[in-house]
Amino acid sequence: MQNTWHGLTWPAADYSRVPYGVFTDQAIFAEEQERIFRGPVWINVALEAEIPNVGDYRASFVGETPVVVVRADDGNVHAFVNRCAHRGTVLVRDLSGNAKDFTCVYHHWCYDTKGNLIGVPFLRGLKGKGGMPPDFKMSNHGLRTLRVAVYRGAVFVTFRADAENFEDYADPLSLKFLDRMFHKPIEIIGYMRQRIPANWKLYLENLKDANHAGLLHQVPTTFGLWRNTQEGGSSMDKKRRHEVHYGYLGTDTDEDAAAGYAGFTPYNDQLKLNDTSIVDYRNEWNDNISSEFLSFFPSSVFQQFSNTIATRQVRPRSATEFELFWTVFGYQDDDSTLRMMRLKQNNLAGPGGVVSMEDGEVGRLVQMGIKRERDSHSIIEIGGKGPIEDQTTVITEVAVRGFWKNYCELMGAPVAQAAE
Ligand code: FES
Ligand SMILES: [Fe+2]
């Protein structure tokens, strides 16, 4: 008989059924913070290009926990929980900046850029009265630090001393993606952020579901940026926790698309663009991959969508809300035409983007639809059931099952039978 977990069941050993309560239950959300976000995972929190100089810092999150990433005076990237060691105040209140040290607004305890406590006002009181007891040692009360890994300028952190080293965790799948994306120096060109009224895992499901893109999104489907009739696929690491899906522009014709989508609305021959430059593409990576996305377990996303390149940090806020934080960049040697293409194409992405807007909206719609459907289950069978294997088509959601496999393992959720 199936064990229940938080009153929910996982009836399929291949993770092809997911109980909807996992998207609404605040107790599960709290447990995720411990078992996943403070568990043996690596989370992308910044790019080195954002903090080139000593003292440069950025605030981010690991799950719900606020963190700060800083280039310390040793020249290395350090990270700590953004919480004063005294009574818990958020220490760094700006999104970014440059500092020699960090002073808490509350009682002015001061920390160096590595998180060591270096100053306590009235440490020994005044005139023999007040202050800290004699046995108080500043060296015992630094900020809580995180392990940091920097790979090709992408900064990842983990709470766990015993987490695999980053490169093992990333697997050649992710490393190859990052090698391509960061093959030359980048330059940050902007940020976007939005609140989405949905559970954070719905967004990861969306990212690992190559099939939806050529159905939900009418603009790329109609104008050929991404279609289910093009060549493409979905690849995973050996543990099936990360996924890359990719498509090749120009590998179908309008006739192929019209035939493939016959009778369905996504291929919309009523849509017209007065200015088609937003769907231009420059083959700058010389591999004809016109879009490629890495969803890095559990909550980091790297995007090459046409000529836009960006990271997305998925920051859970509650069981029913997350923040999506986009860091958009180009390469330092972009010519002005290419930079303009990137800026223009970014109107496809982000909160108001004519493509990405739809991903936020379907998250909201799912959350609304499942609100009182706690132990009903979604169906995840596109691309096949059983073993979770790479696909050479984008008409697949197999990688979504890979996400749930790793999720259940970390959460200790009892799935119906032993998984493959
Ligand atoms: S809480 Fe930060 S100095 Fe007191
Ligand atoms: Fe999408």
Lowest-confidence segment of 7-16, 175-184, 267-276 by average pLDDT: 267-276
What's the mean pLDDT in 13-34? 98
- Measure 223 CA to ligand 2 centroid, in angstroms: 15
The C-alpha torsion from 283 through 285 and 290 to 291, rounded to 10°, is -150
- Measure 156 CA to ligand 1 centroid, in angstroms: 27
Query: Domain holding 109: CATH number?
Result: 2.102.10.10
Of 69, 73, 67, whose CA–CA distance to 53 is shortest? 73
What's the mean pLDDT in 402-406? 98
Lowest-confidence segment of 114-123, 165-174, 243-252, 317-326 by average pLDDT: 243-252
What's the mean pLDDT in 321-337? 98
* Cβ atoms 383, 393 nearer than 8 A: yes
- Residues 334, 369, single domain; the answer is yes
Per-residue confidence band for 376, with pLDDT thresholds at 50, 70 and 90: very high
Tokens matching residue 184:
């030359």
**Does the pLDDT value for residue 255 go beyond 90?**
no
Kindly report the length of the chain: 420
Q: How far, in Å, CA of 286 to CA of 291, rounded?
A: 13
Residue nearest to atom 1 of ligand 1 (CA): 87
Per-residue confidence band for 258, with pLDDT thresholds at 50, 70 and 90: confident
- Residues 402, 287, single domain; the answer is yes
* Cβ atoms 77, 58 nearer than 8 A: no
Ligand nearest to the CA of 111: 1
Residue nearest to atom 3 of ligand 1 (CA): 107
Q: Which atom of ligand 1 is nearest to the CA of 108?
A: 3
pLDDT at 221: 87
Q: Look-up: residue for tokens 């032993």? A: 418
Range of the domain at 100: 43-150
Most informative mutation of 83, 92, 109, 136 for ligand 1 (most atoms within 8 A of CB):
109
| Cα distances (angstroms) measured from residue 265 to each of 211, 253, 332, 356, 388 | 15, 17, 40, 19, 30
- Residues 144, 203, single domain; the answer is no
Task: Give the list of residues 6+ apart from residue 325 with CB closer than 8 angstroms, or none.
Answer: 60, 191, 192, 193, 312, 313, 315
What's the mean pLDDT in 255-278? 81
- Other CB atoms within a 10 A radius of the CB of residue 114 amount to 16
- Measure 374 CA to ligand 2 centroid, in angstroms: 25
Per-residue confidence band for 270, with pLDDT thresholds at 50, 70 and 90: confident
pTM of the complete model: 0.96
Residues of the chain with pLDDT > 70, as a percent, come to 98
- Measure 322 CA to ligand 1 centroid, in angstroms: 28
Residues with CB under 6 A from ligand 1: 84, 86-87, 89, 104, 106-109
Q: Which atom of ligand 1 is nearest to the CA of 120?
A: 3
Q: Which atom of ligand 1 is nearest to the CA of 89?
A: 1
Ligand nearest to the CA of 122: 1
Lowest-confidence segment of 122-126, 204-208, 226-230, 360-364 by average pLDDT: 226-230
Q: How far, in Å, CA of 211 to CA of 396, rounded?
A: 5
- Residues 310, 397, single domain; the answer is yes
Q: Which atom of ligand 1 is nearest to the CA of 84?
A: 2
Per-residue confidence band for 25, with pLDDT thresholds at 50, 70 and 90: very high
Query: Domain holding 304: CATH number?
Result: 3.90.380.10
pLDDT at 267: 66
Q: How far, in Å, CA of 50 to CA of 330, rounded?
A: 13
Q: Which atom of ligand 1 is nearest to the CA of 85?
A: 2
- Measure 363 CA to ligand 2 centroid, in angstroms: 10
What's the mean pLDDT in 344-371? 95
pLDDT at 420: 43
* Cβ atoms 85, 175 nearer than 8 A: no
Which tens digit of pLDDT belongs to each residue from 129-180?
Answer: 999 999 999 999 999 999 999 999 999 999 999 999 999 999 999 999 999 9
- Residues 343, 302, single domain; the answer is yes
**Domain assignment of residue 5, yes or no:** no
- Residues 191, 144, single domain; the answer is no
Tokens matching residue 187:
């330059």
- Residues 359, 302, single domain; the answer is yes
**Domain assignment of residue 12, yes or no:** no
Per-residue confidence band for 4, with pLDDT thresholds at 50, 70 and 90: confident
